[in-house]
Amino acid sequence: MESEILKNIHPALRIAWDEMGDYGKPASEEDIQALLAVFPDTPLDYLDIARQLEIVSLNTVSDFQSSFQFFLLSPADILGWLEWYPHLQEQRPGAFFFANDGDTAFLVAEHGGQRGVFKVETSVPDWNYAKYLAPSIRELLCGGVGWAEENS
């Protein structure tokens, strides 16, 4: 099944196939079910992507004014990262940690009266410095909301 999101990613983004190694395959249904057991409200945007590619590395094309990187975690990695960064989940129960970029976590959560994708430094043990990016993963990756307009 082809992901509608990956098929329509923002023109300034590219899938970095060379960085994905052997993970350029769909997530197993067993891993998806294990994820859904912990996160029954897993965003459909995430599932759309994971059913095509288990792990996705995205970054901006070379001629774009500034860079944006994004490493979508596999269902198994999401469950593993709960142990590494429990404070993100403790402060925002139900927050869905779905991607990272080095020391930055990307989560779908509700915070400060907004629901959507937030960028949070993993080294900071609270949400005080969380940055709201977009209303959904689709808007972030397809519409460029939260990053592309900063470069126009």
pLDDT over threshold 60, residue 151: no
pLDDT of residue 76: 94
Handedness of CA 112, 59, 147, 102 (dihedral sign): positive
| pLDDT class of 1 with cuts at 50, 70, 90 | low
Domain boundaries, the chain: 4-151
Beta-carbon contacts of 33 under 8 Å, excluding residues fewer than 6 positions away, are none
What value does the mean pLDDT take over residues 55-76?
Answer: 83
pLDDT band for position 86 (cuts 50, 70, 90): confident
pLDDT at 152: 45
State which fold the 4-151 domain adopts. SMI1/KNR4-like (3.40.1580)
pLDDT digits (tens, 9 = 90+) for 5-44: 999 999 999 888 877 777 678 999 999 999 999 999 999 9
Question: pTM for this structure?
Answer: 0.89
Rounded Cα–Cα distance for residues 68 and 64 (Å) = 9
Burial of 15 (0-12, 13-18, 19+ CB in 10 A): middle
- pLDDT surpassing 70 at residue 65: no
